[in-house]
Amino acid sequence: MNQTLRAFVALLACSIVLTTNGRAADRPNIVIMLADDMGFGELQCLNPRRGKIPTPQLDAIAAGGMVFTDAHSGSSVCTPTRYGLLTGRYAWRTRLQSGVLTGGPSLIDTNRLTLAKLLSSQGYHTAVIGKWHLGMLFDGQHIAKAVPVGAKVTHGPIDRGGFDEFHGFHHARQIETWIDNDVVTETIEPIEMLPRLTKTAVEYIESRKDQSEPFFLYVPWSSPHSPVIPTKQWQGKSGLNAHADFVMQTDDSFGKVVDALRDNGLLDNTLILCSSDNGTSGPTSKIGQLQEMGHFPSGDLRGSKADIWDGGHRVPFLVSWPGVVQSGSRSSGLVCLTDVTRTVADILDLELPDNAAEDSISFLPLLKGETEHDRQDVIHHSVSGYFAIRQHNWKLSLCPDSGGWTGARPSKKSWEKYEKEGLPMVQLIDMDGDLGEQTNLARDHQGKVEELRELLEEQVKRGRSTPGLPQTNDAEIVINKRPGK
């Protein structure tokens, strides 16, 4: 950790109120594993009726802990979800208003609190092993593809994320570039990335066996995102297609990390969270082919990756924490991946400053078996930058279609067609009675449309969706977007 970051962590420790007594039992190890493009319906435990891919390892994690059935990523695509997970803040409050980053400066500001910085301030050793995808410079510049060995990394997990260690790569277009901490150390074959990440994560856990300090391990897998490249051992295993094979291999990697915790006597004092950054990619999974064979990657949800519909951002979310989370339990509580930061702070009895985790709400009460917690609403965001807001059973999407990749892509021409035909330009759905988002109730409930729109506008304007002093967004936020403008 460089001197500037150490100074920041020291300052942060002074600004966070610690009320726990510091016993090891009060500071569990924390492992977060994040699949890349693994939809809600890919797991057998979430989609037993319409899921055809065996996922025994994730199902075992679910059986040993809690399954959340209404958990959402902060966006329906990659970069913004990762930002939200590590900062507790919606990424649309930054300069990134749509799409993902392919390089350039980090999306995480120098002074932004991250989960790693928070935990470092409390004596944790922190490591990320996997895909970063939050901006990165090599020798001070943006390099789109081939990165030379020896290149110095800045704007990455060490200097912006606040991690002590990083092993992995930036994003899929650079999947052959292996980085250790802040240096590009070698080039590997893309098909070897997932096995390499798995092996490195296991080795990290083994290195923590006899350490007195707790650790935070963040493992953002490279899969089953494209390139869809299961290794020879897994090719053909699913009987469906290569994507399904890759899901099975990814499931096995989850299991190997849990096995390493168990084998090294660390499982009983470790909080494990397993999720995905967004729904399954329709194009790269060949979703139509999978559905013809009886496998529905989004389960009963409409849409998939990139969409404003729930198939784009309702994700698997499993939590294991022996002695705290009851085995075989389920929760229908509304959760967002931005909530991890506040939940961890709650576990450690920490009060966060007003300019941190502005969109994070603790779900610790749900982990302890309570049926209610403070999150009553959540904001969704599609690849094209369209907004939706969900409050209780009502969901308002500020676009007339998927807002993403399913069906016709949002365009000026398609929207003019909707208007000419007199169709509603927003979608109001009762999610309790219409999980598949088939019946638009906007015309029948104009009052609810305006109520939810006002709630969204207020949360955008305040720079936060949680109690606390108003904060400033990093850019002007356009709520009511139109294609071509």
pLDDT value of position 485: 65
| Alpha carbons 113 and 341: distance in angstroms, whole number | 10
Cβ atoms < 10 Å from Cβ of 122: 21
Closest by alpha carbon to 204, among 270, 159, 139, 118?
270
| pLDDT above 60 for 6 | no
State both tokens at 316. 């698997």
| Alpha carbons 478 and 482: distance in angstroms, whole number | 10
pLDDT above 90 coverage of the chain, percent: 89
pLDDT value of position 146: 85
Identify the residue whose tokens are 């490195």. 200
pLDDT value of position 480: 93
Higher pLDDT, 385 or 21: 385
| Alpha carbons 370 and 68: distance in angstroms, whole number | 13
| Alpha carbons 479 and 462: distance in angstroms, whole number | 14
Q: In the Cβ-directed half-sphere of 251, how many Cα atoms lie within 13 Å?
A: 26
- The stretch 316-340 carries a mean pLDDT of 97
Cβ atoms < 10 Å from Cβ of 420: 8
| pLDDT above 70 for 19 | no
| Alpha carbons 454 and 86: distance in angstroms, whole number | 28
Measured CA to CA in angstroms, residue 376 lies from 302, 313, 373, 386 at distances of 22, 17, 8, 21
One-letter amino acid for residue 315 of the chain: V
Tell me how far the alpha carbon of residue 315 is from its chain's centroid.
8
Size (the chain), residues: 485
DSSP 405: S
Choosing among 3.10.20.30, 1.10.10.10, 3.40.720.10, 2.115.10.20, the CATH entry for 26-375 is: 3.40.720.10
| Alpha carbons 180 and 281: distance in angstroms, whole number | 29
State both tokens at 163. 């991690």
Q: What are phi and psi of 442, to 5 degrees?
A: -60, -40
As a CATH number, domain 379-461 is 3.30.1120.10
Three-state secondary structure call for residue 84: helix
- The stretch 425-429 carries a mean pLDDT of 97
SS3 for 341-357 is HHHHHHHCCEECCCCCC
- The stretch 472-480 carries a mean pLDDT of 96
pLDDT value of position 206: 98
Buried b (16+ CB within 10 A) or exposed e, 207-241: ebeeeeebbbbbbbbbbbbbebbbeeebeebbebb
Give, to the nearest 10 degrees, the angle between helix 242-263 and helix 56-63: 50
Give, to the nearest 10 degrees, the angle between helix 193-207 and helix 242-263: 10
DSSP 160: T
One-letter amino acid for residue 198 of the chain: T
Higher pLDDT, 407 or 99: 99
Location of each CATH 3.40.720.10 domain in the chain? 26-375
Higher pLDDT, 448 or 412: 448
pLDDT value of position 17: 43
Reported as a pLDDT band with limits 50, 70 and 90, residue 414 is: confident
Location of each CATH 3.30.1120.10 domain in the chain? 379-461
Contacts of 283 (CB under 8 A, 6+ apart): 405
| pLDDT above 80 for 415 | yes
- pLDDT, tens digit, 9 for 90 and up, residues 160-193: 999 999 999 999 999 999 999 999 999 999 999 9
Measured CA to CA in angstroms, residue 433 lies from 166, 313, 441 at distances of 45, 19, 12
Closest by alpha carbon to 325, among 96, 65, 36, 29?
65
| pLDDT above 90 for 396 | yes
- pLDDT, tens digit, 9 for 90 and up, residues 187-245: 999 999 999 999 999 999 999 999 999 999 999 999 999 999 999 999 999 999 999 99
Residue 138 pairs in a beta bridge with 141, 153
Tell me how far the alpha carbon of residue 314 is from its chain's centroid.
10
Q: In the Cβ-directed half-sphere of 97, how many Cα atoms lie within 13 Å?
A: 11
